[in-house]
Amino acid sequence: MVSVGGMTRDGEGTEGMSGARPPRRPRYSGKNPRKFAEKYKEHRGDGETLSKVAAAGKTPAGTHRPIMVDEVLQVLELEAGDVVADATLGFGGHAAAMLGKGAVVHAFDVDPVEGPRTVERMRAAGYGEDVLLFHPVNFAGMGRELAAAGFPEGVDAVFADLGLSSMQIDDPARGFTWKENGPLDMRLNPQRGVSAGKLLAGMSEEKLVKVLTENADEPLAREVAAVVAGREFAGTVALAEAVRAVVAPVYRLRVGGDEEVQRTIRRVFQALRIEVNGEFSALDAFLRALPGCLRAGGRAAVLTFHSGEDRRVKHAFAAMAAGGGYYVADDQPWRASVAEQRANSRSTSAKLRWIERVEVDDA
């Protein structure tokens, strides 16, 4: 049997993925593999290797560690039989936790590579189509999709964990990382739209300043745009190096200058990724559709990872509450515990906000 977040439908503990004979050990220098493709033991789900990697505070290659799972379950207050829309299936960690509460999960994901893989793994773990239904579409269309699935009045809970999964970030072939070279792609759905490389090659300096500022609050947007807008890059490393060449002299004399350079590179990649995938317009459409997706008494929770996302969720929830019929418990978002932040650095920027559609008593 195959594990999903260490959980199976019958609750048995598992030791990761089993199956085909492992490939021969690829050659790599040093004690541990550094490249994504070389981490074959992690890809294979070797239990001992996974434990070692997790103990070192890292996410095993080809997996994703779900963030703030306990808090998400706490705010959604699921009961057995509740119907949940998980807008962002990813590796299925949150979905598995919801299924563990006896919920029926309608899961969405636009990624045609990782989405079906996750569903396959979850099916092998015992979650059949009676409890886990997969919608391989953009969550912008969630309202229509749920209505077509028989929920025109909405479902008991809606959840979204925005951004990318670790599988997507770490795989150089997807073009999200500059730690290993890959094509400058960055599409969540590589079968649609335009790659980051093409987008950048056709982008004016002015437009790139706007993209870097609006999508990532990049303070050196002008300097970066002046050098990279309208250019073609051989791959992710070439773009990262071009950005480094612009900003390193600016930060050279500052304490922690190297980290500042890394942060700028990260923000440039974030801004392009958001643009390539139209992430803000998809999120705006999702938030507009949310009231129609939530039945009376239902709750929605959204995990965000940067200010552009959080601002949108915060304002949308405030507008829903101001219009009446919704309740927002906290003005401040929930954050991952110190222990989780230590164990998983990807949780440090997470913010969780939630809202409840109030049940109106007609009596």
Residue ranges in contact with ligand SAM by CB under 6 A: 64, 66, 88, 90-94, 108-111, 114, 138-140, 161, 163-165, 188, 282
Q: Is 261 exposed, middle or buried (0-12, 13-18, 19+ CB in 10 A)?
A: buried
For residue 217, the minimal CB distance to ligand SAM (Å) is 20
For residue 143, the minimal CB distance to ligand SAM (Å) is 13
Beta-sheet strand order (sheet of 326-327): 132-135, 104-108, 83-86, 155-161, 294-304, 351-357, 326-327
For residue 199, the minimal CB distance to ligand SAM (Å) is 17
Instruction: Considering the complex, state which of residue 91 and residue 178 has its C-beta at the smaller distance from ligand SAM.
Output: 91
Give, in degrees to the nearest 5, the angle at Cα 336 between 320 and 64.
Answer: 100
Read off the DSSP letter of residue 128: -
Q: How far apart are CA 262 and CA 271, in angstroms?
A: 14
Nearest residue to ligand SAM on Cβ basis: 90
Give the number of C-alpha atoms closer than 13 A to the C-alpha of residue 223, restricted to the C-beta side: 16
Instruction: Considering the complex, state which of residue 7 and residue 261 has its C-beta at the smaller distance from ligand SAM.
Output: 7
Instruction: Considering the complex, state which of residue 140 and residue 184 has its C-beta at the smaller distance from ligand SAM.
Output: 140
Instruction: Considering the complex, state which of residue 209 and residue 313 has its C-beta at the smaller distance from ligand SAM.
Output: 313
Q: How far apart are CA 246 and CA 249, in angstroms?
A: 7
For residue 292, the minimal CB distance to ligand SAM (Å) is 17
For residue 261, the minimal CB distance to ligand SAM (Å) is 26
Which two structure tokens, joined as six digits, stand for 154? Answer: 């909405």
Instruction: Considering the complex, state which of residue 122 and residue 246 has its C-beta at the smaller distance from ligand SAM.
Output: 122
